[in-house]
Structure 1
Amino acid sequence: MRLFETLVEPSICLEDGLDARRTLPALLAARAARNGAAPLFSDRTTTWTASEAVDIAARRAGALAAQGVGRGDHVALLCGNRSEFMEIVLGCGWLGAVVVPINTASRGLQLEHILRNCGARLLVAEAHLVDAVHALDAQDLPLETIWLIGEPTMNAPESSTYATAPLPPAREPAAPARLTDGDPFAVLYTSGTSGLSKGVICPHAQFYWWGHYTARDLGVTAGDVLYTCLPLFHTNALNSFFQALIHDAELVVDRRFSARGFFDALVETRATVTYVLGAMVPILLGRPVTANEREHRVRVALAPGVPENFQQDFTTRCGIALVDGYGSTETNCVISGALGAQRPGYMGKLAPGFDARVVDEQDQAVPDGEAGELILRADMPFAFASGYLGMPEKTVEAWRNLWFHTGDRVVRDADGYYRFIDRLKDTIRRRGENVSSFEVEQVLLSHPSVETAAVFAVKSALAEDEVMAAIVLREGKTLEPLELTRYCEPRLPYFAVPRYLDFVRDLPKTENGKIQKFKLRETGVTAKTWDLDASGYRLRRS
């Protein structure tokens, strides 16, 4: 008997093409039973078939269990796109533990908060990234043990309280946990607006529905090769694994996006479907035309947030059709549409199984054609996140009146198409990452020369945002912009370090002392604004 037949009940049935249970162990077993010999995952050095993925999940779960990890325990994961990342994800899902993928650029306050908030006793980390953990001045973290992937760049400091060891080999296979669709699968951290990053509790079924709806709009079928260079610690790339899993396709991941190597990678991997973000398309179009832009097999890309004026140019030049849409870590692929239903400048229509309203400040619906906040809910159980970890007040606020409040302003046209306008939240979207203005401000304020600071978004030429900060110095203090940048660098993810700095005498405020960031955004970049990109200094990315 094959491993998946011995470890999983043979009662997994299919109904209208949908798995009866939507947990990772059930989905893995069902895929192995249907098409076990076909490839499921590759990081371009290691490839697994579906049957091999079941064995890997069970044996990695055995190693986690031997470490004392049990159902419901959180396991932190600080790792880039490689097979070990998915190995830990599958092992946790098989065991019923909860994986906590952390942005590999996390540093300082943000990283400390995540490790404290998730309560993980075990961290699995690439060796070259673990220095950021040892640099934290936090001796009371719940963390006890670190498993290292690869060779460390330096020895752990003598003062470290963490037991550090190489990633242990797989153990005897563990039996799959008896899970429900609503059991938590992962906690994904999304940047806060007026506070620290929030840990979004994502149940197993949420990722099933991500895989179902996203693949439906992309037309994913058996034998497709899905290629992504987006980070697996975000929803976009992680749900692409579920697209492959439930549709008998293969997911191929690369370490990172390279404009120069993107089309080469599509050719080399024989990809048929890919994934891009809004800023990637103008970057790719800005490069000289090359032959390989037309030598690939890719027919379609999921491309949320690509500006309307770039969409047709990209398709005409590269032969890849673009599918827009709307979703968030807390929700799902709620607004989109297949290729024939795409309309430039619009996110698409509401998917079946979801409900949406466009509302005013009192949650009253506004007429079609009028802008308001998008609020959402799902018909299917556990298709959305279950809330924010350890932040009940934030959960209640976001899900008030039993609708999830996205914080995004949209317009719904009379024919049901939705158009994105802007964000209501004080958050910044840069290079595909959400940046918390609060977290950046806390780092700026910790500099001894800074009296107060306000961080806000200004428009980028690449269709997203740039980070800008207005700084008021303490009386009698002076500070060079590059000195402040170097101070921020080890304390913030590279993408959160402000590009623009303005040193000002004071900040615009309301009568009760609240900083009026809208006035700062309206002023934006001026002739006296310091620009990091123009300085010639290049930030380190790891």
Structure 2
Amino acid sequence: MSAAPSYVHGANAKPLLGDTLGSLVDRIAAAHPERPALVVRAQNVRMNYREFHAEVERVAAGLLALGLQRGDRVGIWSPNRAEWVVLQFAAPKAGLILVNINPAYRTHELEYALTKVACHTLVLPRRFKASHYLDILGELAPELAASTPGQLHAARLPALREVILLDEVAAAGTRSWQQLVACGDAAALAQLHAVEPELGFDDPVNIQFTSGTTGAPKGATLTHHNIINNGWFIGEAMRLTEHDRLCIPVPFYHCFGMVLGNLACVTHGACMVIPGEGFDALATLETVATEKCTGLHGVPTMFIAELEHPRFAEFDLSSLRTGIMAGSPCPIEVMRRVVEEMHMDQVTIAYGMTETSPVSFQTVPDDPLERRVDSVGRIHPQLEVKLVDERGRVVPRGTPGELCTRGYSVMLGYWDDEARTREVIDEARWMHTGDLAVIDADGYCSIVGRLKDMIIRGGENVYPREIEEFLYTHPKVLDVQVFGVPDAKFGEQVCAWIRLREGSEASVAEIQDYCRRHLAYYKVPHYVRFVDAFPMTVTGKVQKFLMREAMVAELER
């Protein structure tokens, strides 16, 4: 008898939600007005759902008062802050599209992102740690300093008109966040309430950039329906209720923070607890203990950093029960320690991709510990997944195939890029993920590899082609190949093999510094080797697996 096909469907009695982000926050605030909604310790912010709803309405109305029209793009380039969460709901409530910009982006990446989606408004802090955001924007838009707020005309950023500064005091050419909120007066609120009934849950509300395997990043465009329902079912798998308090140290610009974190909470009336602008193990432990958090999110490297912190034993984490570990495979010993030492006996594992809003598979608290480590769980409610071979035929259970997802979660497409959208979403609306997976007889899915050579470094997806194309801009670089090598701390590290131009000399530090000035830190090659040639097939195809093997052998020596 032949094995069953690798096809699973999340048939489920729980219906999809028909909310927009605006109607969702209206409904939850009406149901749980006095329950805590948002705690941001670094900013001393505490709001219940009634206060959160009022702030969302004021900011949504303020954006309309600035003259933004339905469908305009509003960029947020910031680490985790209270304003990020408010804007996540306010922009869609006003019919606008929120564009998530990675806080690690530098000039090269920022210019591309803002131009690609024709961003009208950009919200940013003055600085965070070593990132001087306003100075970086000033390099791209020197006209800002001499402009009137809302009247920017920058040669390199032709669509950008408005810059909102997350600061008490506005800089030249910008408005402060407080000034934006003040624009949300009675007249603006009336305009907001007139606009809202026109919005539909299939409207685009969010653009998230996924680094391109073929060069430039692509803007995955997501709807209300995509992200609300994914957040709802994620929270259901975690068994969230309005009594939960979820600690969210993962970044908001990524689906992990804004969907698995914020939307899982809001769909259930739970409290979003933000330990700081960026991840800090000590701040996270302090937050969980002080705020009596019941859930905690993180990638395995974050959980390892918390467990290994010298002051770990000082903190009472007994309030914890649930959370999500995702981003890269979890070692079973780490999972055991998270369950035993952090009291997270209901911790779940999730798998997905930005283009599917993101989660397609998730474990549930009833799954045995082994299944929460050797698999990414079973199919999410209301979704379909099939595994196919190179000819598009469904493979039998237990056989590796490319994972394809279909259902409410699949993005509208890549912003303004029909050709690349067609490459991944076929005529039957299957999203081809590029991941190789196996589905067993019980429906559990294991990710076994990648069709493309994507690197996952500490939960960040790194696409070699993007770094290669950037390194070609270095005057001394003739040819370059980028690939991942195993790393105990981050899962993988970025490695670049470089052929220099004849007569050129370069150092590892020179190449790394060149990358640091223009690329996010996690894309900077950790290892750089200068070589005379790359291993090739007889047909001239570069063999990255041989380079990887050579580097692994070198590092083991």
Instruction: Quickly name the TM-score band, shorter chain normalised.
Output: 0.7 to 0.9
Paired position in structure 1 for 2:160: 143
Contact 2:486 2:552 in 1 (8 A): no
Change (3 A) 1:66 1:303: same
Query: Structure 2 counterpart of 1:324, which letter?
Result: I
User: In 2, distance between residues paired with 1:135 and 1:275?
Assistant: 36
Match of 2:292 among 245, 263, 270: 270
- 1:140-219 equivalent positions in 2, closer than 5 A: 140-141=156-157, 142-150=159-167, 163-167=173-177, 168-170=179-181, 171-172=184-185, 173=189, 174-175=192-193, 177-178=196-197, 179-219=199-239
* TM-score (ref. length: structure 2): 0.86
Which residue of structure 2 aligns with residue 468 of structure 1?
495
Q: Is the 8 A contact 2:306 2:312 kept in 1?
A: no
Conserved in 1, the CA contact under 8 Å of 2:297 and 2:325? Answer: yes
Residue range with higher mean Cα deviation, 55-64 or 518-527: 518-527
Structure 1's unaligned 5+ residue stretches are 1-15, 157-162, 531-542
* CA offset digits 1:350-396 (Å, max 9, x no partner): 12311111111111111111111111111xxx432111101111111
Whether the aligned pair in 1 keeps the contact of 2:202 and 2:225 (CA below 8 Å) is yes
Which has the larger displacement, 356-365 or 307-316? 307-316
2:81 matched residue in structure 1: 82
Q: Give the superposition deviation at 1:181.
A: 1.3
Counterparts of 1:242 and 1:139, CA distance in 2? 37
Residue in structure 2 matched with residue 432 of structure 1 by the alignment: 459
Q: Is the 8 A contact 1:146 1:165 kept in 2?
A: yes
Which is worse superposed, 169-178 or 459-468?
Answer: 169-178
Contact kept in structure 2, 1:217 and 1:338, CA below 8 Å: yes
Q: SS of the counterpart of 2:374?
A: coil
1:225 to 233, 245, 253: 245
Selected match of 2:263 from 218, 242, 248: 242
Match of 1:317 among 341, 348, 366: 341
Letter in 1 for 2:449: D
Checking the alignment, whether the CA contact within 8 Å between 1:279 and 1:306 is kept in structure 2 is no
> How many Å apart are 1:21 and its aligned residue?
2.9
Task: Note the residue ranges of structure 2 that are not aligned, 5 or more in a row.
Answer: 1-12, 128-132, 142-153
Quickly say closer, same or farther: Cα 1:151–1:519, change in 2 above 3 A.
farther
Contact 1:56-1:87 at 8 Å conserved across structures: yes
Partner of 2:36: 39
Which residue in 1 is equivalent to 2:6? none
* Distance of aligned partners of 1:339 and 1:487 in 2 relative to their CA distance in 1, 3 Å threshold: same
Given that 1:324 and 1:336 are in contact with CA atoms closer than 8 Å, whether structure 2 keeps it comes out as: yes
Letter in 1 for 2:294: T
Q: How many residues align?
A: 505
Secondary structure of the corresponding residue to residue 104 of structure 1: coil
2:414 is the counterpart of 1:377: no
Aligned-pair distance for 1:271? 0.6
Corresponding letter in the other structure for 2:353:
S
SS at match of 2:222: strand
Q: Which has the higher contact order (CA 8 A, sep 6+)?
A: 2
User: Residue deviations 1:286-321, cap 9 Å, x none?
Assistant: 444732454441111211232234211332222223
Is 2:383 the counterpart of 1:354? yes
RMSD after superposition: 2.4
Matched residues in 2 for 1:460 and 1:94: separation?
A: 43
In 1, the alpha carbon distance for the partners of 2:306 and 2:39 equals: 24
**1:103-159 alpha-carbon deviations (Å, 9 max, x no partner):** 000113322211111111211111122322233499332223322112799x77xxx
Pairing partner for 1:326 from 339, 351, 372: 351
What is the letter of the counterpart of residue 299 of structure 2? Answer: L
Partner of 1:65: 64
**Offset, 1:89:** 2.1
Counterpart-to-counterpart distance in 1, 2:438 and 2:161 = 48
TM-score normalised over the length of structure 1: 0.88
Contact 2:289 2:316 in 1 (8 A): no
- What are the superposed Cα offsets for residues 311-344 of structure 1, whole Å, 9 maximum, x if unpaired? 1133222222321121221114321132112413
Question: How far did residue 88 of structure 1 move?
Answer: 2.1
Q: What letter matches 2:117 in structure 1?
A: C
Q: 1:285 to 1:270 in 2, by over 3 A?
A: closer
Q: Which amino acid aligns with 2:175?
A: A
Q: 1:509 to 1:111 in 2, by over 3 A?
A: farther
1:512 deviates by 5.3
Alignment pair present for 1:302 and 2:302: no
Aligned to 1:345: 374
Q: Which AA in structure 1 matches 2:196?
A: A
* Map of 1:101 onto structure 2: 100
Q: Which moved more, 1:464-473 or 1:310-319?
A: 310-319
